[in-house]
Structure 1
Amino acid sequence: MSHIYDYLVIGGGSGGIASARRAASYGAKTLIIENNRWGGTCVNVGCVPKKIMYNAAMIRETLGDAKGYGFDVPSRQINWNMLKQKRDAYITRLNGIYERNLDNDKVERVYGLARFVGHNKVQVNDREYEAKHVLIATGSYDMRPTWPGAELSLSSEDFFDIEHLPRHVAVNGAGYIAIELAGIFQYLGCQVSLFIRQGTFLRTFDTMIQTKIMDEYRKAGMEIIPYSKIESLTRTASHPTESVVQNPNAYAHTVEYTNTQTGERKTLEGVNLFLAAIGRKPQTPKLNLSALSDLKYDAKEFIVTNAYQDTHVPNLHALGDVCGKYMLTPVAIAAGRRLADRLFGGKLDAKIDYENIATVVFSHPPSGTIGLTEDEAKARYGEANIKVWSSSFVNMYYSMCDHKGPTSYKIVCEGPNHRVVGLHLVGMGSDEILQGFAVAIRMGATKHDFDQTIAIHPTAAEELVTMK
């Protein structure tokens, strides 16, 4: 016998929880199913704990600048294990808050693995549940490499299990997760070797961001190894009683790789910890999606939906990382709420707008982007219709410091009215500055609108409204 609901949500991450709570607020009888910790990737092994570790790295970086302002800071040594314990306790509190919020909104919770046994029916713990509308919001998981010795490496999610700071870390990956984790290690005092497949990292971002962050990482002492293909990882020494996450410094590894430009085979020795951040895949293998004959996938196995989060199966919906489009927590939350508004709130045209979504990389310094890169804008509108303003300068913060961190801004405009179609920032505070400008760009702001805005002085952000 099946338990009947109006809305059945598979996945207790940010998108699934947001959609379930919104549906319940309209009076829909709602069930949410989760087989791991509440809050999903972001809360448990993603943006929340990562930002805590980023904050720690940023604080250590700031302590290095303190001497220029007259402070004597004798040590910048971090107690990683203490920070990990406090961070994990904070995440556990968040898990509880998610559970209480669901209970308060009268969303029923089931813990277990959901498997489809029909188009609108799943089985969990030997019980069946069905609903008129079913949402797949199971998120994604980190891809694992397959080269010899890959089992000796850690993934981006394993990063949060590490109990002590490694001395020498090798990171493989060129996306924002790899760049953020490599930066955390480097700015907390590790020796970092970063392996990337091409000549630059963050390749979906504007070239200004790629160049500035790579230059700054190299100045900080990071070894960036471009055009590299990992061939194998070998453990050369270890302590027999401890695991890598318990004590990375008890281990030594040799990385063998090939320079894809020259074909030369090389080795890197003495690596305590190898972390692979090479991408993510949809969390769908255990759902028995073969029971849904009409479900369609893209070339990377992500679920295909229309603009309203509908799959090709009637009354079956999907959103968030499982769809592979803008794999960002706020995107999943917005899509989940709008889906519930449409299904249960009478807002028949509610959907998320995937244009002009602001994105931040918590690099050192932070960088952010919204809209089109310069190259994308030229390809879409024609080079003759694009005008670009850019500026690089030293933030006043660094006026007292020996280290001069980079600050670079780029405004990309199209047409005779110079409508802003892209904004790209590198520098201290870029993560916070971008949010307000994202509102203006979504409203169709032009360069003239920027110019007519009175600047806040002295700030770095004033450069965006005074750039000539």
Structure 2
Amino acid sequence: MSYDFDLFVIGGGSGGIATARRAAEYGAKVGLAENNRLGGTCVNVGCIPKKLMVYTSHFPAAFQESQGYGWSPVKSTLDWSKMITSVQQETQRLNGIYQRMLDKSNVELYRDYAKLLDPHTIEVGNTKVTADKILIAVGGHPVRPNIPGIENTIISDDMFTLTEQPKRLVIWGGGYIGVEFACIMRGLGSDVIQIIRRDKILNGFDEDIRTTIQESMEHHGIQILKNTIITSIEKTSQGLKIALKGDKNNEMILADTVSLAATGRKPSLDNLGLENAGVEVKQEAIAVDKYSCTSQENIYAVGDCTDQINLTPVAINEGRAFADTHFGGKSRIMSYENVPSAVFSTPEAATVGLTEEEAKEQYGEGSIKVYRSKFRPMYYVLPGKEEKTLMKLVVHQETEKVLGAHMVGDYAAEIIQGVAIAVKMGAKKSDFDATVGIHPTSAEEFVTMR
């Protein structure tokens, strides 16, 4: 049977664009549909604009710390509007780059919503097209809890379009998005209250990472209300009146007209027509196998709309593996073992491999040896600040294999990116020990821990 396209991609985020371009490089005729800005969550309302705000939030501390090195006091104020405008301009620049990349790859772009009609037919706006293979890369979106007054809150996407800086911000959620925005806004001078359902932030991360970041956040003036939920939100003339239920029984707090709900994300599958094509959904995500194939043999899915790891580099790798396999004659699969990740909090955290808890559960507590170091980096000595860096290696004693590496501190993501190569290659603790450190650096601690 003849089709309009060899491959049609639904979704123009990082995973979808990477797949489309790679398949086109192999000579496939590729179409792609995106009804929103190109680049997806990461470029437009995620990784990129958020990291730019992280950088912005670090300047007040840097101004203060410079005095320890002999610089005169700096008096500076934030022009919120200029910062937000600059961030938006950068995302728009990246949108244009993605457009040019698709044009250069001869990928036919449809700027409209796409819906599956059957396993080989897609309705894009008022047009119907057919494809031999279809790849779904529609990403995910933030969700708000269903409580009275929740419509008075914003989601993380909205943080990049606020016209004014909130002076009193309440953040509901202890995941990485809530933690990152709490640190950003505190660094920019806002009063921040973070409400979490457990006793610690960052559920699923190594316990030492969770504890170290939480203690530092509280040290920097972020008030964390633990084991607490919001039961209702009321808009008043004084601001948002937020009712709580938790450790301190029932309590009321007041925030600006802005309160951030950062309690989770879910795949954007509404009106996609998955049922028309026989694509199975499990726990609100598209179920895929190791080749990113759905329950329909010619339809595939990558990225945040699936039940795999939801990280931008993962989506890109999944998509390229799919294109290599089906259009490049190079069969390969995405490996989900030892995928590094970071939390751009203040202090920053990064991790690769197993947590201490996971390693003990998998290998037995007696088989695991943990190397841990906590110290004040040289940078903070002259400013007289008690900022701490944590470094940790989780090692299997019998084989000496490093199962996990974790860090909290300045440039943690940059450092762990390099360490991740060693962990991915199966390095042993003796390999770390045999590596000469670069002195004086914080990173050298990873090769000197005893």
Q: Under TM normalisation by the shorter chain, which class is it?
A: over 0.9
Which residue number in structure 2 is paired with residue 391 of structure 1?
A: 373
The CA RMSD over aligned residues, in Å, is 1.2
What residue ranges of structure 1 are gaps of 5+ in the alignment? 238-250
The answer on whether the counterparts of 1:282 and 1:324 sit within 8 Å (CA) in structure 2 is no
Which residue number in structure 1 is paired with residue 123 of structure 2?
A: 123
Which residue number in structure 1 is paired with residue 312 of structure 2?
A: 329
Which residue number in structure 1 is paired with residue 444 of structure 2?
A: 462
The answer on whether the counterparts of 2:63 and 2:74 sit within 8 Å (CA) in structure 1 is no
Q: Aligned partner of 2:45: which letter?
A: V
Which residue number in structure 2 is paired with residue 47 of structure 1?
A: 47
Secondary structure of the residue aligned to 1:285 is coil
Which residue number in structure 2 is paired with residue 252 of structure 1?
A: 239
TM-score (norm 1): 0.94
Q: Aligned partner of 1:228: which letter?
A: T
Alignment of 1:341 with 2:324, yes or no, is yes
Change (3 A) 1:270 1:6: closer
Alignment of 1:267 with 2:249, yes or no, is no
Which residue number in structure 1 is paired with residue 264 of structure 2?
A: 279
The answer on whether the counterparts of 2:170 and 2:255 sit within 8 Å (CA) in structure 1 is no
Q: Report the Cα distance in structure 2 between the residues aligned to 1:126 and 1:85, rounded to whole angstroms.
A: 35
Task: Give, in angstroms, the shift of residue 270 of structure 1.
Answer: 4.1
Q: 1:348-359 counterparts in 2 under 5 A?
A: 348=331, 350-359=332-341
Which residue number in structure 2 is paired with residue 228 of structure 1?
A: 228
Task: Give, in angstroms, the shift of residue 3 of structure 1.
Answer: 6.6
Q: Report the Cα distance in structure 1 between the residues aligned to 2:348 and 2:101, rounded to whole angstroms.
A: 32
Alignment of 1:437 with 2:419, yes or no, is yes
Q: Report the Cα distance in structure 1 between the residues aligned to 2:145 and 2:384, rounded to whole angstroms.
A: 41
Q: Report the Cα distance in structure 2 between the residues aligned to 1:273 and 1:411, rounded to whole angstroms.
A: 40
Task: Give, in angstroms, the shift of residue 314 of structure 1.
Answer: 1.2
Identity %: 40
Q: Report the Cα distance in structure 2 between the residues aligned to 1:230 and 1:214, rounded to whole angstroms.
A: 20
Q: Report the Cα distance in structure 2 between the residues aligned to 1:147 and 1:97, rounded to whole angstroms.
A: 40
The answer on whether the counterparts of 1:368 and 1:425 sit within 8 Å (CA) in structure 2 is yes
Which residue number in structure 1 is paired with residue 296 of structure 2?
A: 313
Q: Report the Cα distance in structure 2 between the residues aligned to 1:144 and 1:272, rounded to whole angstroms.
A: 17
Number of equivalent positions = 449
Task: Give, in angstroms, the shift of residue 399 of structure 1.
Answer: 0.7
Q: 1:6-405 counterparts in 2 under 5 A?
A: 6-237=6-237, 252-259=239-246, 261=247, 264-293=249-278, 295-299=279-283, 301-348=284-331, 350-405=332-387
Q: Report the Cα distance in structure 2 between the residues aligned to 1:50 and 1:381, rounded to whole angstroms.
A: 37
Secondary structure of the residue aligned to 1:157 is helix
What residue ranges of structure 2 are gaps of 5+ in the alignment? none
Q: Aligned partner of 1:284: which letter?
A: L
Q: Report the Cα distance in structure 1 between the residues aligned to 2:375 and 2:310, rounded to whole angstroms.
A: 32
Q: Report the Cα distance in structure 2 between the residues aligned to 1:19 and 1:64, rounded to whole angstroms.
A: 46
- Per-residue displacement from partner, 1:122-169 (whole Å, max 9, x unpaired)? 101221111111000000011112111000000011111112211100
Secondary structure of the residue aligned to 1:32 is strand
Change (3 A) 1:346 1:393: same
- Per-residue displacement from partner, 1:5-27 (whole Å, max 9, x unpaired)? 00000000000000000000000
TM-score (norm 2): 0.98
The answer on whether the counterparts of 1:387 and 1:418 sit within 8 Å (CA) in structure 2 is no
